[in-house]
A and B are shown apart, each in its own frame.
Chain A
C-alpha cells in the first residue's frame, strides 16, 4: 500500500540533495578512449557528501548528442558502456555508492546491500542510492554537449525511480528487478538477491512489518503514476507486469523477455533508436 507520506518522503530527499554542491570532476581515461570517442571518469558529490563515480563517454564530432544513461544492476561491478553505443551517443554508466569505483568509504556487501538499513525508510541504503541516480541525471542537464531533449534511461528499478523523478528524460527502457512485489516474490524463491529478504526475516523475525513499510517507498507501482515519459517495460513472463502496467494509469509499451541477451539486446537498441530518432542502431557484429 502506498504510504501517505510517499510524496513528502521523496520531496525531502530532493530538498536535501539540492543543498549538496555536485562539484563535478571529469578526467579522461586515455586507456579507455578510442578513435571514436573519449571516455571520462566522472566524480560527483551526492547525498551525505558521498563522492560517486560514473563512466562518461562522449563521441568525437559536433554535438549535442543523444544520451543513453545506464543505471546499474545489483552487483559490485559496472561495465564501461558498450563500444557500439559510444560511437554515436553520449553514454554514461553510474557506479552507485558501495559499488566498485564508488566504494570509498562504503563498500557494499553482496549479499547484504539489499537489506542494509532496511529497518526504516530513513536509514535504508537505497534512499541514498536513489539520490546517486538523480545526481547523474542532473549533471547531464547541465552539459552543453548533451541533447537535453533526447536522454534515454536504461535499467531496472533504479532507472524507474529516476524516470519518475526526472521527467526531463525522453524515454525509459525498463526491466523490473528487485523492488517490484519484492516480498511476494521472495516468499517463493531461495535465490539471491531476493533470498536476502528471507535471510533477514529469519535473523530478525519481528521486523517484517517494518521491512514491508520501508519497501513501500521503493515499490515501482507507487512510482508509476509519476512516470510520464515514453516507457517500454520488458517483463520476465507474460502478465508478470500486469499490476505495474495498470498502476501507470495510461498505456505503455510492453514486451516479454526472450531470455536471450542477443534478441533482447537487439530489441532494446532498436526501440531506443526509434525513440531517440538516431536511425539504425550500431550493433555488435555477432548480432548482425
Chain B
C-alpha cells in the first residue's frame, strides 16, 4: 500500500558530545532523592482477583508523582512485573487486566498527567514546548526521570522479582519505554509501539498532526528559536538513547502513521544495541500501529521473557 520507502529517509538528529555527561549528572541528582513511596489501597478499584493501590513517590524538583499499582491477590512467589507508560494525551493505564494474568503491574503517570499535575501542569497542548529552548529546564527532563523512577519503585517491592521487569507503551509511552530501557539496565524486556519523541527534528518536517504540530506552532511564532529547539531536542531524542539499550526489545509501527512518522523508527532501530531486537512494520496502519492484532504479540513476548 505504501509507495514511499521510510527506511531510506535517514535523520538529522545529532548526538551531543556531552549527552552522556548531561544524563549522568541528572541521574546522579535523581538517584539521591529518596522515593518516599506511599501505597494506599483503592478498595473501589480492587477486585476479588486484584488489589489496586494508588502510589505516590518523590521525583526531581520535589514533585510528588502518581501511579497505579496492581497486584494479583494470589502471589506465592515474587512476581514478574510490567510497567505501562502513557501516551501523550491518554490517561494513565489502570492495568488490572494484566495483573489478573499473574503480573505486578504499574500504570505510570509522569508529572503533568492527571493526579500528578498539582505542582506542574503545562497542559495539552503545552507539555511538548514547555521551556523548549532550555535543556536544563525542559519539561521532558522531569517527565523522563519520573518514568524511570517507576523501575526504582518496583525493585524496592518485596513481592516483585527485580530480575523480571518488563516495560511497554505506545506513542509517548513508547518513548518513555525507550528512555527507561536505556537508563535502567535492570529492565529485562521492552515493547515499543509507534515511538514518539524519536527523530523529532525530522518529524516536524514530515507531519502537520498534533502533538508534533505543537513545535511547528511554536516555531511559527518564534522562528528565531529554531536552533535552540534543535539543540535542546538532541539531548532528549530517543534515537540518542538507543545505543544504551541492551535488553530484548520489539518495536511496531504503522507505515501510514501521520502522528509519529514511520521514517523516524528506522534510525532508531539502527542505533539500538540489543542483540535481540525486532521491528514489525505494518502496512495499511496509522498511529494505531495495528495494536488490535499486535497486542497478542506483545503479551506473548513478555510471557516468554518474564515468565519462563
- By a beta-carbon cutoff of 8 Å, the part of chain A in contact with chain B is 30-32, 34, 75-77, 79-80, 82-84, 100-101, 109-111, 190-192, 195, 198-200, 202-203, 258-263, 265, 284-287
Given A31-B217, A203-B44, A286-B256; A261-B285 close (CB under 8 Å): yes
CB-based nearest A residue for B50:
A190
Q: Does B304 make an interface contact (CB < 8 A)?
A: no
Given A111-B94, A190-B97, A284-B207; A260-B254 close (CB under 8 Å): yes
User: Considering the chains assembled together, what is the distance between the CA atoms of A6 and B193 in angstroms?
Assistant: 44
- One of B91, B257, B258 near A75 (C-beta < 8 A): B91
User: Considering the chains assembled together, what is the distance between the CA atoms of A262 and B96 in angstroms?
Assistant: 29
Q: Does B21 make an interface contact (CB < 8 A)?
A: no
- One of B43, B124, B286 near A260 (C-beta < 8 A): B286
Chain B residues contacting A285 (CB-CB under 8 Å) are 206-208, 258
Whether B221 and A100, one on each chain, are in contact in the complex, defined by CB atoms closer than 8 angstroms, is no
Shortest Cβ-Cβ A-B pairs, 7 listed: A262-B286, A284-B258, A261-B286, A259-B292, A262-B256, A77-B89, A83-B208
User: Considering the chains assembled together, what is the distance between the CA atoms of A110 and B93 in angstroms?
Assistant: 10
- One of B124, B290, B292 near A77 (C-beta < 8 A): B124
Whether B258 and A286, one on each chain, are in contact in the complex, defined by CB atoms closer than 8 angstroms, is yes
Given A82-B209, A83-B208; A31-B114 close (CB under 8 Å): no
Known interface pairs A77-B124, A80-B210; 18 further A-B residue pairs with C-beta atoms within 8 A, sorted by A's residue number: A32-B125, A79-B89, A84-B208, A100-B123, A110-B91, A111-B94, A192-B94, A195-B96, A199-B45, A261-B288, A263-B285, A263-B286, A284-B207, A284-B208, A285-B206, A286-B258, A286-B286, A287-B286
Report B15 CB to chain A, min CB distance, Å. Answer: 27
CB-based nearest A residue for B291:
A259
Report A200 CB to chain B, min CB distance, Å. Answer: 8
User: Considering the chains assembled together, what is the distance between the CA atoms of A200 and B44 in angstroms?
Assistant: 7
User: Considering the chains assembled together, what is the distance between the CA atoms of A110 and B292 in angstroms?
Assistant: 23
Whether B256 and A31, one on each chain, are in contact in the complex, defined by CB atoms closer than 8 angstroms, is no
Q: Does B110 make an interface contact (CB < 8 A)?
A: no
Report B236 CB to chain A, min CB distance, Å. Answer: 21
User: Considering the chains assembled together, what is the distance between the CA atoms of A271 and B90 in angstroms?
Assistant: 27
Whether B254 and A261, one on each chain, are in contact in the complex, defined by CB atoms closer than 8 angstroms, is yes
Whether B290 and A259, one on each chain, are in contact in the complex, defined by CB atoms closer than 8 angstroms, is yes
- One of B44, B100, B114, B287 near A202 (C-beta < 8 A): B44
Chain A residues contacting B217 (CB-CB under 8 Å) are 31-32, 34
Given A34-B220, A77-B124, A286-B257; A262-B284 close (CB under 8 Å): yes
Chain A residues contacting B221 (CB-CB under 8 Å) are 30-31
Given A76-B114, A199-B45, A261-B288; A286-B207 close (CB under 8 Å): yes
User: Considering the chains assembled together, what is the distance between the CA atoms of A259 and B296 in angstroms?
Assistant: 15
User: Considering the chains assembled together, what is the distance between the CA atoms of A80 and B287 in angstroms?
Assistant: 17
User: Considering the chains assembled together, what is the distance between the CA atoms of A259 and B290 in angstroms?
Assistant: 7
Report A222 CB to chain B, min CB distance, Å. Answer: 28
CB-based nearest A residue for B255:
A286
Q: Does B159 make an interface contact (CB < 8 A)?
A: no
Chain A residues contacting B114 (CB-CB under 8 Å) are 76, 109-110
Considering only residues 30-65 of chain B, those with a C-beta below 8 Å from chain A are: 43-45, 47
Considering only residues 172-231 of chain B, those with a C-beta below 8 Å from chain A are: 206-210, 213, 217-218, 220-221
